[in-house]
Chains A and B, each alone.
Chain A
């Protein structure tokens, strides 16, 4: 019964994609760029964030609420109300973050529905889940940086949740606050986490892509324009504004929730914190372990493909077609007629045989399933018909 759910979803997905192809052709079908869409929004976030960073001041001072007060909240207000197009850039930054979460979830759904997470793709699946968690945390730190009443509530809730963790909780909470109480150092820490972790995402993306051949990382320009247009239309329709400036001597109790990033705080507010951590960690591990059954069902240990060096002409077709980046072209030895030779990285080879099909010169083979054996099997099947 479980398998009928993804199968039904797969059929529905393929039907929708076929309909989309008829309208925009396969070159511009956004479903075929489901991994590239969040990557595009990441670049938008970097650029808009750089512009915001130029004017942002990470301090919390609000003594006496003086007229010339300069702190995080007033700097964000300055960006929004004084800098030309500042409000639009702030809106782009906020909504690009939301759009990134939406497109990541759609990407994960399509990968699950089309079975792209099985066996050797488990690395992509697990790194993807970790990347999603990092994106959510980076987004949450963005909400702290505005330093309005919502930021204050979120900071206090996070500290309470961290302190509950056994053994390491108080230490992590102190690291999070950059001390034992909320100070200017706290906001500097938030800014460091927000920017540093967002650049760490690039390393995570490298892990995500490393065993994929020709990952599509950029949608075509037409799709990029539409993605930006959607952002700008949302910025126009729903301008961003800050709440009241945070005062650490006060105790605000409610805030507007952005469900894309702040749903964990809804959970924190409505359940015991220990249950919250058990649920969060449990759900994360369960989702990460989705590819596990397919790993155990894998066939006997794989014998990697082998190159017949005397026949290899260095045409690169096997290297280009390998889905797992397991074939590398290296310079041919001196005296060879050809410039390059193919070599197989056995630790990456899955024994799928795509390289054998790609080679036009019988120069690569699977040792436990020779070309001649396959031909003989096909011939036997044809003759038995």
Chain B
């Protein structure tokens, strides 16, 4: 049972890593989700395979929401940097959960008592 949970955690962790890796370049481009701003490999994949990727207009809309939120709170430039910090923060939480999940087994303290002569 424990191994099943560990395996599930590894799979979920890997998917989260992939998601954050995909979000980073999007954040660096100022959260603009138009097709021209997609990473080159993703555009090639969408154009040359039968894999039609989800409509990025919805993501563009999300970008617009984030943009207006940040501007309302005082940011006026380099909005992608803030989105980058959000994604990095979420990645760190995932990393912390991963470390804690791995470290749970080592949580018990072991005390070594000296033998009296």
User: Given A81-B76, A236-B89, A315-B114, does the pair A88, B84 have CB atoms closer than 8 Å?
Assistant: yes
Query: Binary interface profile of A, 218-246, with partner B (CB < 8 Å = 1, else 0)?
Result: 00111101101111110111111100000
With beta carbons under 8 angstroms apart, the residue of A26, A85, A222, A233 that contacts B99 is A222
Let me know if B77 is at the binding interface, CB within 8 A: yes
User: Given A85-B81, A221-B99, A223-B96, does the pair A230, B89 have CB atoms closer than 8 Å?
Assistant: yes
Number of A-B pairs whose CB atoms are under 8 Å? 102
B86 close to A233 (CB less than 8 A): yes
Q: How far is the CA of A221 from the CA of B75 in the complex (A)?
A: 31
CB contacts under 8 Å to A, within B70-117, are 70, 73-78, 81-86, 88-93, 95-97, 99-100, 103-104, 106-107, 113-117
Let me know if A270 is at the binding interface, CB within 8 A: no
User: Given A25-B107, A27-B103, does the pair A233, B89 have CB atoms closer than 8 Å?
Assistant: yes
Q: How far is the CA of A25 from the CA of B102 in the complex (A)?
A: 12
Whose C-beta in chain A lies nearest to the C-beta of B100?
A222
* Interface size grouping (class) on chain A: 35 or more
With beta carbons under 8 angstroms apart, the residue of B104, B106, B115 that contacts A360 is B115
B96 close to A229 (CB less than 8 A): yes
A236 close to B86 (CB less than 8 A): yes
With beta carbons under 8 angstroms apart, the residue of A24, A25, A26, A91 that contacts B85 is A91
Instruction: List residues of chain B with CB within 8 A of the CB of A228.
Output: 89, 92
Q: How far is the CA of A230 from the CA of B89 in the complex (A)?
A: 7
B81 close to A237 (CB less than 8 A): no
Let me know if A354 is at the binding interface, CB within 8 A: no
Instruction: List residues of chain B with CB within 8 A of the CB of A231.
Output: 89
Q: How far is the CA of A25 from the CA of B114 in the complex (A)?
A: 27
Let me know if A203 is at the binding interface, CB within 8 A: no
Whose C-beta in chain A lies nearest to the C-beta of B69?
A237
CB distance from A7 to the nearest CB of B (A): 28
User: Given A25-B104, A229-B93, A232-B89, does the pair A81, B77 have CB atoms closer than 8 Å?
Assistant: yes
B92 close to A225 (CB less than 8 A): yes
Let me know if A267 is at the binding interface, CB within 8 A: no
Instruction: List residues of chain A with CB within 8 A of the CB of B99.
Output: 220-222, 225
Let me know if A260 is at the binding interface, CB within 8 A: no
Q: How far is the CA of A74 from the CA of B92 in the complex (A)?
A: 33
Residue of A28, A80, A84, A236 contacting most chain B CB atoms (<10 Å): A236
Q: How far is the CA of A263 from the CA of B51 in the complex (A)?
A: 58
With beta carbons under 8 angstroms apart, the residue of B75, B78, B96, B114 that contacts A225 is B96
Q: How far is the CA of A315 from the CA of B91 in the complex (A)?
A: 45
Instruction: List residues of chain A with CB within 8 A of the CB of B107.
Output: 25-28
B74 close to A239 (CB less than 8 A): yes
B96 close to A226 (CB less than 8 A): yes
CB distance from B5 to the nearest CB of A (A): 15
User: Given A85-B84, A88-B84, A233-B89, does the pair A317, B106 have CB atoms closer than 8 Å?
Assistant: no
Query: Binary interface profile of A, 97-126, with partner B (CB < 8 Å = 1, else 0)?
Result: 000000000000000000000000000000
Let me know if A12 is at the binding interface, CB within 8 A: no
Q: How far is the CA of A61 from the CA of B113 in the complex (A)?
A: 68
B81 close to A229 (CB less than 8 A): no
B92 close to A239 (CB less than 8 A): no
Q: How far is the CA of A349 from the CA of B92 in the complex (A)?
A: 44
Instruction: List residues of chain A with CB within 8 A of the CB of B78.
Output: 81, 84-87
Instruction: List residues of chain A with CB within 8 A of the CB of B116.
Output: 360-361
10 tightest A-B CB contacts, nearest first? A232-B89, A239-B75, A229-B92, A25-B107, A225-B96, A236-B86, A222-B99, A241-B74, A229-B89, A360-B114
**A residues whose Cβ falls under 8 Å from a Cβ of B:** 24-28, 80-82, 84-88, 91, 220-223, 225-226, 228-233, 235-241, 315, 317, 360-361
Instruction: Taking A27-B103, A222-B95, A236-B86 as given, write out 6 further A-B residue pairs in contact, using a Cβ cutoff of 8 Å, ordered by the A residue number.
Output: A88-B81, A223-B96, A226-B96, A228-B89, A236-B85, A360-B113
**B residues whose Cβ falls under 8 Å from a Cβ of A:** 70, 73-78, 81-86, 88-93, 95-97, 99-100, 103-104, 106-107, 113-117
30 contacts across the A-B interface (CB closer than 8 A): A25-B107, A27-B103, A81-B77, A84-B81, A86-B78, A87-B81, A88-B81, A88-B82, A88-B84, A221-B99, A222-B100, A226-B92, A226-B96, A229-B88, A229-B91, A229-B92, A229-B93, A232-B86, A232-B88, A232-B89, A233-B89, A235-B82, A236-B89, A238-B74, A239-B70, A239-B74, A241-B74, A360-B115, A360-B116, A361-B116
